[in-house]
Structure 1
Amino acid sequence: MASSVIDEALLLNLERLNSKERYCECVVILLKLLDNVIREPQNNKYRVVRLENKVIKEKLLCLNGIRQLLTNIGFEEVEGELRLPGNLMIAKLKKCRDVINKRLESVKQTAEVVASSSQAPTSSSTPPTQSVPDIRIKVITPQKPFQQRITFPSVIPFNNQFLKHLETLSDLSMQYEDTKIQKYATSLIPLDRLVYNSTKRLRLIQKEIASKGCSKSAEICLTDLILCELSRWFNEEFFTWVNSMPCRVCGNDDVQTRGKTKDGGIDVETYTCCNVTSKFYRFNDVAILLTTRRGRCGEYANCFTLLCRCLGYDARICYATFDHVWTEVYSVYQKRWIHIDPSDNVIDAPLMYQHGWKRKVDYVIAFSRDDVQDVTWRYANNHKETLSSRTKCSESNLLQTIILLRNKRRMKISPARCRYLTKRSLSELCEFFTEREVTENERKGRSSGSMSWKASRGEQNVNNFFVITGDKNVVQTKQFNLRYSCAENIYEKYIIVGDQKKVYSQSKKWESYYYLSNHIFRKEERDWKMVYLARIEDTEAASISWNFDFSKDNLIINSISLRFETKSYEDGSVVVETWNEQRKPVKIDELCGKSKFSICVFMKGGKGEVAWQHTQLFRQRIGSKDYPFDLNITFD
């Protein structure tokens, strides 16, 4: 669980955005600053750090992401100085210091997992090809080394490569049960935040159900909602998708694969551009994936299944022969297995692959610590045709293999647990007898499910009723500045001092500040590497608004400017309006002399099946440092 005194996500982000050497050097300086205050809390000189100090300026403040961390610790940036308020509790500061120091010690154990390519003599006209370090990996010490965690006596008597591979996959799933790995992985999950967001979402769902007069059966439990939040956090914050390794020289992020090799039994993809070779290691060891936190569907599902196990869920990893991997989690409340694709943050849409992605589904096998199940029939609704396409082995040999692997996994479990698993498996098999109708959302390749599932993922009309107001910085400086990055999915409040913008507050997720939202979601295009807010698929219109009220601080608007980027295609329409206190549209300069206003956006139109994509807000490249939403106000 993440610490309650410091946002470890900021600390991890600091590590990701900078080299190991710069990170360590910076954190050592930060720890010295904190140690000075802890050692002599009454000495004010240790609570004040000049920003112009050469060491602070060149070693600390130059680090990407450090200002946000300093703010989170409690530092305030005032008149060219970093200050720790006198009322900041030393006990809290000590806890912050301990968390930071613990992370530093972990990073110091980092090992570079890269093989430098040998350089052959070259002519003077051709630069030599170089190998660049790609991955820095923290050493986690599991109970057993990777190979020992996944090596078990074979029980499969068949000389069939497909069936032998199933045993290998079953053995691989046992690595999730390593208690040391689970302990470390659990420490990375911001459980307090997930529970808080889930509780908030549950109340919204209950209101939605009550307002629509739905039956009680439409309700959902908090445990399942935490699962939704875990998937969202994992997809948006924890793990990163890798298409190819970007060139370190020219920045080209669409480098073609040069080849595939093996390094110590690990599959390695090599990419070459500008005579520089980069390597992408396809790790299966979750102890390593917890640190690299990047990959494709296999790495996503591997790591996500582990995190589900850390939170006590019965989780299993699903391998499909159409080259895709995902997770299933058993809902005790709903008494069924729930499909979760962590690489796309899609929940409960099993027919998506067959009907949305147009994949041929023939074998989907699920593996967990004490079970193996052929779940193909959940992911296909043309069972007769699917059965005829299964040619990798006989059905009787497949069934015998599954039974043997189940017995292998259940050798050390209690009789009561064994009876429970048998009963649950029979119930699941009965579910497979029915060919379920595909939903329209599954045809489009997006999640389906009941209204409560959709609401849990922000896919219904949700009234946040959040009103943006002033704070002490606004009152003191007579200015209010708010910006949003869709690429980072974060709002920032800042003050302008000279030609510098000093951020003093951050709020993650686009949902944090809006007042009303109707059919809006954040879309990531991994193929085009773009991100934006858009209408939910199959909706004809959508809207969103932000509400501002500075009257409580007696602040009157003197000047106001707004940057608000939109994109529309075909006959799509995006209308952005500023409304006065009477909720009537006015020109933005007519807000001068006022204290309350709203920004309202209305989207509609577009053509064809992708009409929803023809109206977009804040479109930008993934990784962009720009802010397509930027509001600036000064007050009298």
Structure 2
Amino acid sequence: MSDPLHEVLEVLLALYASKGRFPRPNAVTQQQRNAVRQAGPIIVRRLVEILGDAPSRAQSNALLETIRSSNEGINKYTDENLLALARSEIPVEELKKTADDIQASDKRLPCYEGEWPTLPLPRDKLTNQLLDALAEALVKWFKPNYFTWRDPIRCTACQGETQSIGMGQPTPDDLQGGAGRVELHQCKTCRTVVRFPRDLKYLMRSRTGRCGEFANLFALFINAVGLRGRYVWNAEDHVWNEYYSPGMDRWVHLDSCENARDQHLLYDVGWGKKQSYILAFGPDGAQDVSRAYIKDFAAALPRRNRISEGELEKALADVTRARRAGLSAERLAALAREDEGERRFIYGEQLEDTEDLPARQSGTAEWKAARGEDGKHSS
């Protein structure tokens, strides 16, 4: 006769498989069900706590649509016309001075060496040592020197506060600038309707927005200076960026809204944000990077209930496969080495908060508290 504990584990696996997370084992027998009952209701209650409800088709489809639209939006960050326009906005000498100041301080980056050449550079001309200092300089400059936080959107006629009244149709110019959506806001005072296209050309004129606009435009700027960037989407209503560092052999966190670089636990430890899905999108594919930003990933598993893990993995793999189709064998081998480096970082030793990470800086105190991002919910 089987060990009762073994019987319980068989049932747990079968129930877990019913949520679409494992290949389905053999059917559960009546003997196994009885073993669970004998083990007590505590096991059942704990199982329900861990698994929660199975993801609905509507939830899965919504996340799949996010993956599709996020992947589609990546193309604008490598558009040569937009990149040229972005380069005309970037103060190269100021970036070089900022990087040099960093290196002269007690926060010197150990990866930095040598003299600054002319920027922007082709990627093959940027040494590994310069990449990280350039990323640091760029993220420190972007806010508030170039882009500023603005929520709510201000009236263009009287500078009064506005409120959202829905969405409008993008114009041909909006579409050319990469706008897939146009927000409409009406002034609470003079009733003027303000269009907020969210396209890159508009953002380079307005130089103001919220975290979505910060990450959108900064993704273009990352590529404009010769770095390789990614756009990172978080299911809990935040977005940021990453750049690839050959010297560190991994993708590195950048949040222009918070002037932050390489602070992967900023949201979890600093803000106290309870996260579930964090997905990164770039020209070479898509990746679930949730483990890199969540200190206790096991505790986050109950929140990952929008889609089965297998379906999510397949969707992201399909994006990556399509984006890498037609690349040379040499390029594919290089990307495979990068993938391995990223896996070592994501699945390696547990992340530790080695510094005093701050609560969210952008937004009003009331707004941050309502979103649980004021640091008071940190574990």
TM-score interval (norm. to shorter):
0.5 to 0.7
Deviations 1:473-506 (A, max 9, x none): xxxxxxxxxxxxxxxxxxxxxxxxxxxxxxxxxx
Residue of structure 1 in register with 2:153 after alignment:
245
From 79, 97, 116, give the equivalent of 1:196.
Answer: 97
State the SS of the aligned residue for 2:137. Answer: helix
Per the TM alignment, residue 251 of structure 1 is displaced from its structure 2 partner at its CA by 5.3
**Structure 2 contact 258–362 (Cα < 8 Å) conserved:** no
**Separation in 2 of the partners of 1:376 and 1:258?**
31
User: Does 2:255 match 1:341?
Assistant: yes
Residue of structure 2 in register with 1:173 after alignment:
74
From 132, 135, 138, give the equivalent of 1:230.
Answer: 138
**Structure 1 contact 245–271 (Cα < 8 Å) conserved:** no
From 166, 190, 195, give the equivalent of 1:260.
Answer: 166
Per the TM alignment, residue 372 of structure 1 is displaced from its structure 2 partner at its CA by 0.9
User: Does 2:307 match 1:393?
Assistant: yes
Deviations 1:110-163 (A, max 9, x none): xxxxxxxxxxxxxxxxxxxxxxxxxxxxxxxxxxxxxxxxxxxxxxxx972211
**Separation in 1 of the partners of 2:84 and 2:362?**
34
Over 3 Å counting, the alpha-carbon distance change for 1:415 and 1:441 in structure 2 is same
TM-score of the superposed pair, with normalisation by structure 2 = 0.68
**Separation in 2 of the partners of 1:411 and 1:159?**
26
Residue of structure 2 in register with 1:366 after alignment:
280
Over 3 Å counting, the alpha-carbon distance change for 1:159 and 1:439 in structure 2 is closer
**Structure 2 contact 156–194 (Cα < 8 Å) conserved:** no
Deviations 1:545-599 (A, max 9, x none): xxxxxxxxxxxxxxxxxxxxxxxxxxxxxxxxxxxxxxxxxxxxxxxxxxxxxxx
User: Does 2:179 match 1:273?
Assistant: no
**Structure 1 contact 301–327 (Cα < 8 Å) conserved:** yes
From 331, 337, 342, give the equivalent of 2:245.
Answer: 331
**Separation in 2 of the partners of 1:395 and 1:403?**
12
**Separation in 2 of the partners of 1:239 and 1:304?**
9
**Separation in 1 of the partners of 2:263 and 2:188?**
39
State the SS of the aligned residue for 2:192. Answer: strand
**Separation in 2 of the partners of 1:373 and 1:162?**
14
**Separation in 2 of the partners of 1:249 and 1:161?**
37
Per the TM alignment, residue 176 of structure 1 is displaced from its structure 2 partner at its CA by 1.0
Deviations 1:400-446 (A, max 9, x none): 1111100111113222111111121122112222321224422x337
**Separation in 1 of the partners of 2:164 and 2:236?**
23
Deviations 1:21-73 (A, max 9, x none): xxxxxxxxxxxxxxxxxxxxxxxxxxxxxxxxxxxxxxxxxxxxxxxxxxxxx
User: Does 2:210 match 1:296?
Assistant: yes
Letter in 1 for 2:142: F
From 292, 296, 299, give the equivalent of 1:382.
Answer: 296
TM-score of the superposed pair, with normalisation by structure 1 = 0.42
Please show how residues 465-544 of structure 1 align to structure 2 within 5 Å: 526-527=363-364
**Structure 1 contact 383–435 (Cα < 8 Å) conserved:** no
**Structure 1 segments (4+ residues) deviating >4 Å:** 247-252
Per the TM alignment, residue 173 of structure 1 is displaced from its structure 2 partner at its CA by 0.6
State the SS of the aligned residue for 1:243. Answer: coil
Please show how residues 8-47 of structure 1 align to structure 2 within 5 Å: none
State the SS of the aligned residue for 1:373. Answer: strand
**Separation in 2 of the partners of 1:407 and 1:387?**
26
Letter in 2 for 1:375: V
Deviations 1:181-226 (A, max 9, x none): 1112112111122123323432445xx87xxxxxxx9454343122
**Separation in 1 of the partners of 2:285 and 2:159?**
45
Letter in 2 for 1:202: Q
**Separation in 1 of the partners of 2:63 and 2:352?**
30
Q: Structure with the greater relative contact order (CA < 8 A, sep ≥ 6): 1 or 2?
A: 2
Structure ranking higher in strand proportion: 1
Per the TM alignment, residue 527 of structure 1 is displaced from its structure 2 partner at its CA by 2.5
Residue of structure 2 in register with 1:182 after alignment:
83
Over 3 Å counting, the alpha-carbon distance change for 1:236 and 1:382 in structure 2 is same
Per the TM alignment, residue 526 of structure 1 is displaced from its structure 2 partner at its CA by 4.8
Over 3 Å counting, the alpha-carbon distance change for 1:258 and 1:327 in structure 2 is closer
Residue of structure 1 in register with 2:62 after alignment:
161
State the SS of the aligned residue for 1:441. Answer: coil
Residue of structure 1 in register with 2:340 after alignment:
426
Over 3 Å counting, the alpha-carbon distance change for 1:402 and 1:248 in structure 2 is closer
Q: Is the radius of gyration larger for structure 1 or structure 2?
A: 1
Number of equivalences: 283
Report the RMSD for the aligned CA atoms in angstroms.
Answer: 2.7
Over 3 Å counting, the alpha-carbon distance change for 1:288 and 1:413 in structure 2 is farther
**Separation in 1 of the partners of 2:162 and 2:235?**
24
Over 3 Å counting, the alpha-carbon distance change for 1:402 and 1:274 in structure 2 is closer
**Structure 1 contact 242–295 (Cα < 8 Å) conserved:** yes
**Structure 1 contact 318–326 (Cα < 8 Å) conserved:** yes
**Structure 1 contact 341–347 (Cα < 8 Å) conserved:** yes
**Separation in 2 of the partners of 1:310 and 1:375?**
24
**Separation in 1 of the partners of 2:159 and 2:187?**
12
Letter in 2 for 1:409: R
Per the TM alignment, residue 177 of structure 1 is displaced from its structure 2 partner at its CA by 1.1
Over 3 Å counting, the alpha-carbon distance change for 1:172 and 1:381 in structure 2 is same
Residue of structure 2 in register with 1:410 after alignment:
324
**Separation in 2 of the partners of 1:182 and 1:251?**
31
From 192, 201, 208, give the equivalent of 1:287.
Answer: 201
Please show how residues 87-98 of structure 1 align to structure 2 within 5 Å: none
**Separation in 1 of the partners of 2:164 and 2:73?**
29
Per the TM alignment, residue 248 of structure 1 is displaced from its structure 2 partner at its CA by 6.4
Residue of structure 1 in register with 2:353 after alignment:
438
**Separation in 2 of the partners of 1:178 and 1:241?**
26
Per the TM alignment, residue 250 of structure 1 is displaced from its structure 2 partner at its CA by 6.7
Per the TM alignment, residue 245 of structure 1 is displaced from its structure 2 partner at its CA by 3.2
Per the TM alignment, residue 312 of structure 1 is displaced from its structure 2 partner at its CA by 1.4
Over 3 Å counting, the alpha-carbon distance change for 1:356 and 1:278 in structure 2 is farther
**Structure 2 contact 149–362 (Cα < 8 Å) conserved:** no
State the SS of the aligned residue for 1:372. Answer: strand
Letter in 2 for 1:406: T
**Separation in 2 of the partners of 1:256 and 1:287?**
22
User: Does 2:223 match 1:309?
Assistant: yes
Per the TM alignment, residue 384 of structure 1 is displaced from its structure 2 partner at its CA by 1.0
Over 3 Å counting, the alpha-carbon distance change for 1:377 and 1:267 in structure 2 is same
5+ long unaligned stretches in structure 1 = 1-157, 210-216, 447-523, 529-608, 611-636
State the SS of the aligned residue for 1:359. Answer: coil
Deviations 1:364-386 (A, max 9, x none): 10011112111001110111122
State the SS of the aligned residue for 1:327. Answer: strand
**Separation in 2 of the partners of 1:299 and 1:251?**
19
**Separation in 2 of the partners of 1:441 and 1:352?**
9
